[in-house]
Structure 1
Amino acid sequence: MFKTRRKKRRYLYYFIFIFVVVILFYSFSKFEVFEKEEPIIHASNTVFTNPNEDLNIKITDESSGISNISIILKLDSNDSGVTISKQSINKEKELNIRLKLSEILPKNSGKYYVLRVEAKDSSYWNFLRGNIATKDIVIVLDSKKPLVNVISHSPYIEKGGAAAVVFRARDDNLAEVYIEDNEGRKFIAKKYLKDSFYAALIAWDPRKKDFSANVVAKDKAKNITKERIKFIVQDRQYRISNIALKDSFLDGKIKSLTQQYSPEGSDFNRLESFKFINETLRNSNEKLIHELSSKIPENELKNFKLSPFLPLKNSAKVADFADHRFYSYENEAVSNSHHLGLDLASVAQAPIISSNEGSVVFAGENGIYGLNILIYHGFGLYSLYGHCTNSYVQLHDEVKKGDEIATTGISGLALGDHLHFGILVQGIETRPEQWQDRKWLQTHIHQVLDNGSKYILGR
């Protein structure tokens, strides 16, 4: 009986010991020394690169920190590999490794390699061995640049004008295709009719002095090809206007718009109000227009035909496109702006007609533009209508050629009843007169696309 009692007591001690160990182990596991999270190796499973590029690998461990890393280079997944880097780390939370591929890769060898990256943390978990993360990164070498050739393009582009381009870009690992001008602005190019063929509308901002453009193709290995589009580039002089501000204008339209749009608590004098409307509000309104009109929602271009844009019947031009206006008050310079549209007038509240089918992307109040409508016609082309009195369309409406979309008016920064009409290409205002000219449309847009189509389809 005594032995039985001692035996039971021994089991009780064992149980208490094990219980205490479990409690202590669980408690310690809450601390970094026994954390169970593996380090994270931030790298893609497959990396396309060329031998001249460096490969960057980031390793993080936010808990116990990194204790050591090793990197093994393998000719393929079955190769045992060669260790190219082995480091002991003093509990770093983040480690950035840069590998010079030109130094570590064998000369005149294959196109594919495997880098095995192994990272161990400083935890005492896993019977003091810590947590280990392993990742195999497939390295695909590619030093061949994409092939690019321009197939057709508009014969010339003028300052403030637009042009069309059709081209081909080929590469097994093609990543990005676009057109870039001398200012670094990128124009989106869309697939045209067949794989590897692209088309785009581009534009020369009337406020920029020079223009040139290249087709740019990049592959996944960061090889780049640039092919110049050989336009004839035509400069164009736009009007410069010097306008003396009158008190009646400042105390009328400007004051009214300031009360409507200025921040609460503002106490602007006459000239401050004008600068707010002509600069701050104008920039905000144009930013919205540019953001909306920079998008090309369709994935590819198939058919693109336009009729001349003639939104207002029997109208007369009352203000020029790209007019650079300098404002003064009592013979002192105050502000300046560019008038990036064409002002047309006929009779009060005249019907505004959509000359081409499209989709409404904006219909509402927009500061100096008043009641403003923006319609997308495809291929990155938008038409704009400002200062309207009434709008007969809403956001996302589909309009047809000949539909009445609005009436002219004096909303926004308009003194007399008229239509502010604009045409934008990928967020850049262009000369509306071009888009009103049937011959220009045929030569610079339709014929360019038709010539590209014949080449691509072999007709």
Structure 2
Amino acid sequence: MKKRGIRPGYFIILILLGAVLYGVFAILNSKMLERNAPEILIQDKIYWNLRTPLNIKFKDDSGIKFIRISMNDGTNTSNLLNQVMQEPITELDVNLTIPKTSFFNQKDSYEMQIEAVDFSKWGFFTGNKTQKNIQVILDTTRPDVNVLSHSYSISKGGSAIVVFKATDNDLKEVYVKTNYGKKFKATPFYKDGYYASLVVWPVDVENFSADVIATDKAGNEGRSHIRYFLQNVKYKTSTIPLKDSFLDGKISELTDQYAKDPSLLSRLDKMKFINETLRAENEVLIKNVTSGVDETSIENFKILPFYPLKNGKKVADFADHRYFSYNGEIVSESWHMGIDFASVAQASIVSSNDGVVAYVGENGIYGLNIIIDHGFGLYSLYAHCSSVNVNQGDIVKAGQVIANTGVSGLALGDHLHFGILVQSLEVRPQQWLDKKWIADNITSVLDAAKKIIDKK
């Protein structure tokens, strides 16, 4: 008896059925029928000054098709936006502006209703829909900002201080903004509503100006100009001929330690690598370590003159702009952003003020390097050490021996490279070594501000 085979027609039916099932599966899992509702990216409660456009972000897998935005004051509704998209937009930014109408002159709090529909055919071709209600607090009043006390002057490459008051019901941020773009974080000072900050005029910036700025949650900004007397300072410029013994010695040693393939570099390439590439990397580390500011309120900021090396003789100055020449041609340049002190080999290095060790380690041209955080955005730096007596995170006291001088990093003779930084910027250490300068420009300013505050 012959076995009956499967008829060819069955194969065709099975193939067609499989194709249909695959098609249905593909459609159900395609963007055409995706089931994810649109995302409306905005906080549940916002503050708005009505002047700055309000940014609302929308996201959807199949693309945004329609959005509607309205405001309700509890009684009446005002439609702000009805927009239909001609093509799917998966990410949409709406910068909402308020039309000139008396509707927004009645109250300080409103409910914003936001609706978004996508291009999906899910839900019998109606698409996925998201609705979101948010509370909108209208605030058109700028924070009140007043400078109470500040250093009389600021010198190029130097530091100064300012104390100010900032008042607003919904204060968001206070800082000092300079003409060169740096924002100095302000620290709460003495009593609520008062702030203080150290500021810096960098050596490579030709002019200086600064404003105290306060912003609130609605984006309103209040500002007050700080009227410093500007003192221009001329710094040294040096041209240093490079010797083969230096290039084949210290420069070659550091290149072997830090370059990926030192054998491919010529003498001058090695010099440029150490003096420019490696220096830049090392300075980024220092900047990152010294950019933090303790936000704990301060009542007294007492700082003693820095005297890191007993009987130390200054052998190199701050902000010396150095040009390096080889066979009469300038091949590289750099700034020496500290003071070099020398006394005897492996001399004791002392922390003149209390602080917390923010960094200890090998840092390229700086060698074995220590950075101490003294609070209020002020840091001291100690480079080229031969040994250290502290670890990162240690609390140090004034007068404590923290390390010994040496020749680590880009140092030819045993010495200490000492630096002072304010919120990541190098400043003139001479000022912070001077008892009178500290009293006139820092301590007396804070004391004067406290007397003004106490009278209010």
TM over 0.5: yes
Q: How does 1:168-317 map to 2 (within 5 A)?
A: 168-264=165-261, 266-317=263-314
User: Which of structure 1's runs of 4+ aligned residues deviate more than 6 A?
Assistant: 24-28
AA at the equivalent of 2:156: K
SS at structure 1 position matched to 2:446: helix
> Which residue pairs with 1:72 in the alignment?
70
Deviation at 1:94, TM superposition (A): 3.2
Query: Displacement of 1:100 after TM fit?
Result: 2.1
How far the C-alpha of 1:26 sits from its partner, in A, is 9.1
Q: Decide whether aligned partners of structure 1 residues 132 and 386 sit closer, same or farther in structure 2, where only a CA change above 3 A counts.
A: same
Indicate the SS of the match to 2:408. Answer: coil
- Find out whether 1:433 has 2:430 as its counterpart: yes
Residues 1:103 and 1:267: Cα distance change in structure 2 (over 3 Å): same
Tell me the distance in 1 between the aligned counterparts of 2:26 and 2:251: 71
Q: How many pairs are equivalent? A: 435
User: Is 2:33 aligned against 1:37?
Assistant: no
Secondary structure in 2 matching 1:194: coil
**Who is 2:416 aligned against?**
419
Question: Quick one: structure 1 residues 268 and 94, their matched pair in 2 at CA, closer, same or farther if it must change by over 3 Å?
Answer: closer
C-alpha distance in 2, partners of 1:185/1:284? Answer: 20
TM-score if structure 1 supplies the norm length?
0.89
- The answer to whether the 8 Å contact 1:34/1:125 transfers is yes
Deviation at 1:194, TM superposition (A): 1.9
1:454 to partner: Cα distance: 2.0
| 2:389 alignment partner, one of 387, 392, 400 | 392
Structure 2 unaligned spans of 5+: 1-22
Instruction: Tell me whether 1:377 sits opposite 2:380 in the alignment.
Output: no
The amino acid across from 2:169 in the alignment is D
**Which of 82, 85, 92 matches 1:86?**
82
In the alignment, the residues of structure 2 paired with residue 372 and residue 92 of structure 1 have an alpha-carbon distance, to the nearest angstrom, of 53
AA paired with 2:405?
T
Q: Is contact 1:157-1:232 (8 Å) kept?
A: yes
More moved, 99-108 vs 222-231: 99-108
Deviation string 1:200-224 (CA, Å, 9 cap, x unpaired) is: 1111112222111111111222222
Given that residues 434 and 440 in structure 1 are in contact (C-alpha distance below 8 angstroms), is that contact kept between their aligned partners in structure 2?
A: yes
Q: Which residue of 1 aligns with 2:9?
A: none
TM-score computed with the length of structure 2 as normaliser: 0.90
Aligned 1:16-27 pairs, distance under 5 A:
none
Cα contact 1:51–1:102 (8 A) shared by 2: no
Residue 128 of structure 1: how far off its partner (Å): 5.2
Q: Distance in 1 between matches of 2:55 and 2:408?
A: 56
Deviation of 1:294 after TM superposition, in Å, equals 1.1
Q: Which residues of structure 1 form unaligned runs of 5+?
A: 1-23
User: Which residue number in structure 2 is paired with residue 121 of structure 1?
Assistant: 118
Equivalence for 2:343: 346
Distance 1:418 1:98, change over 3 A: closer
1:83 partner amino acid: N
CA contact (8 A) 2:70 2:80 kept: yes
RMSD of aligned residue pairs (Cα, Å): 2.3
What SS does structure 1 have at the residue aligned with 2:115? Answer: strand
CA distance in 2, matches of 1:98, 1:352: 57
Matched, 1:454 2:425: no
Q: Deviations over 1:410-444 (max 9, x none)?
A: 11111111110111111111111111111111111
Sequence identity (%): 48
Asked if structure 2 preserves the Cα contact closer than 8 Å seen for 1:84 and 1:104, the reply is no
2:317 matches 1:320: yes
CA distance in 2, matches of 1:313, 1:95: 64
8 Å CA contact 1:52, 1:102 repeated in 2: no
Change (3 A) 1:154 1:80: closer
